[in-house]
Amino acid sequence: MFAVYADSFSAEDPLQGLVVGERPDPEVPDGWTTVTVKAASLNHHDVWSLRGVGLKEEALPMILGCDAAGIDEDGNEVVVHAVISDPAWSGDETLDPRRSLLSERYQGTFAEKVAVPRGNVVPKPSSLSFEEAACLPTAWLTAYRMLFVRGGLRPGDTVLVQGAGGGVATALITLARAGGLKVLATSRDETKRKRALELGAHEVFESGARLPVKVDAVMETVGRATWSHSIRSLRVGGRIVVTGTTSGPDVDDAGLTRIFFLQLEVIGSTMGTKTELASLMSMLDATGTRPVIDRTLPMEQARDGFAAMADGDLFGKVVFTR
């Protein structure tokens, strides 16, 4: 079948190991099912995989892609939950130490078909297109959990979103606004700052700029480049929810003094549960809020989408269609 996959790793030039070609049809173990992919979205996870982060050499070749919306074996429109937990695990799937994301241990979604456990298939609301639904299982679900589950934010709270242009960041801005929060956002790029305002941010700032107020929480996906600004932007007792380190994980100054003196909370967050994915879809259904799509490309042109993401040249999600 047609597939977009990683054949080798390169930390410096991630696109080197990307192949748009053919792979065998997926194997379907007992209790699993096949989804025919109509749309799949790109995440930074896919670029990390090509850099050799989070993917093992012995797993190559690996079809990339965590997210998909498509048609199940009974002809239903569905969304795939990307967190694959152990069959023996019950409860919050993201806490299973043996969990993996599609495209880490099991073949991913950038293909004609993807095999997943039956329990990972969620009905797609008819109000969402396949392209919109394909944006949800990683970036949008991650943003939902950061804000409303791990971040515990309530309407009226003030939140800072770092690196406004990213897939997770645009989801954070949109969902935070729809959830009644006061939204501040930073970006390195003036055009992206303007677009963040259009998306619902109340105020935007250059990366690193001093804010006029201290915030209840910071949503951190950028890492090294923004960490110290995030710590400095929090009110006493505020919290930073961290889910990514696009600019690198090693910070020069972790701000430990500030963290203990101001009694800040540092909270990790990863993906979200299947139940949270269903709640996210209900929220979009109820509010009319929709994912921000930077560009939609036929899956055959996946390389162009990967290049834009590797260059940081995006505002919102890249969606591949079949």
Ligand X SMILES: NC(=O)c1ccc[n+]([C@@H]2O[C@H](COP(=O)([O-])OP(=O)(O)OC[C@H]3O[C@@H](n4cnc5c(N)ncnc54)[C@H](OP(=O)(O)O)[C@@H]3O)[C@@H](O)[C@H]2O)c1
Tell me how far, at minimum, the Cβ of 68 lies from ligand X, in Å.
15
Told to check if 77 binds ligand X by CB under 6 A, we report no
Residues 233 to 292 in contact with ligand X, rule: CB under 6 A: 243-247, 270-271
Q: What is the CA radius of gyration of the chain?
A: 19
Told to check if 142 binds ligand X by CB under 6 A, we report yes
Tell me how far, at minimum, the Cβ of 163 lies from ligand X, in Å.
3
Told to check if 168 binds ligand X by CB under 6 A, we report yes
- Quote the CA–CA distance of 33 and 10 in Å, as a whole number: 33
Residue of 188, 194, 214, 303 that binds ligand X (CB under 6 A):
188
Tell me how far, at minimum, the Cβ of 207 lies from ligand X, in Å.
5
Residue of 43, 109, 273, 289 that binds ligand X (CB under 6 A):
43
Residue 240: which H helix or E strand, with range?
strand 234-242
Q: 317 φ, ψ to 5°?
A: -95, 150
Query: What is the DSSP secondary structure assignment for residue 120, as one 8-state letter?
Result: G
Told to check if 109 binds ligand X by CB under 6 A, we report no
Q: Long-range contacts of range 146-150, CB-CB < 8 Å, 24 or more positions apart?
A: 146/172, 146/219, 146/241, 146/243, 146/269, 147/172, 147/175, 147/176, 147/179, 147/181, 147/219, 147/241, 148/175, 148/179, 149/269, 149/272, 149/276, 150/241, 150/267, 150/268, 150/269
Told to check if 100 binds ligand X by CB under 6 A, we report no
Residue of 38, 44, 81, 177 that binds ligand X (CB under 6 A):
44
Residue of 17, 40, 41, 45 that binds ligand X (CB under 6 A):
45
Told to check if 52 binds ligand X by CB under 6 A, we report no
Burial of 71 (0-12, 13-18, 19+ CB in 10 A): middle
Tell me how far, at minimum, the Cβ of 135 lies from ligand X, in Å.
10
Told to check if 134 binds ligand X by CB under 6 A, we report no
Residue of 77, 112, 189, 265 that binds ligand X (CB under 6 A):
189
Q: 273 φ, ψ to 5°?
A: -85, 170
**178 vs 225 by CB, closer to ligand X:** 225
| Helix 44-51 with 302-310: angle, nearest 10 deg | 90
**26 vs 165 by CB, closer to ligand X:** 165
**Among 82, 128, 130, 76, CA closest to 109:** 82
C-beta separation of 299 from 170 below 8 A:
no
* CB crowding 139-166: b at 16 or more within 10 Å, else e: bbbbbbbbbbbbbebeeebbbbbbbbbb
Told to check if 151 binds ligand X by CB under 6 A, we report no
Tell me how far, at minimum, the Cβ of 318 lies from ligand X, in Å.
8
- Quote the CA–CA distance of 126 and 274 in Å, as a whole number: 18
Near ligand X by CB under 6 A, which window of 17-25, 33-41, 116-124, 165-173?
Answer: 165-173
**72 vs 160 by CB, closer to ligand X:** 160
- Total length of the chain: 322
Residues 193 to 232 in contact with ligand X, rule: CB under 6 A: 207, 221-222, 225-226
Residue of 34, 138, 158, 174 that binds ligand X (CB under 6 A):
138
Told to check if 117 binds ligand X by CB under 6 A, we report no
Edge to edge, the sheet with strand 2-6 lists 18-22, 2-6, 62-63
Told to check if 314 binds ligand X by CB under 6 A, we report yes
* Chain positions contacting ligand X, by CB under 6 A: 43-45, 48, 138-139, 142, 163-169, 187-189, 192, 207, 221-222, 225-226, 243-247, 270-271, 309, 312, 314
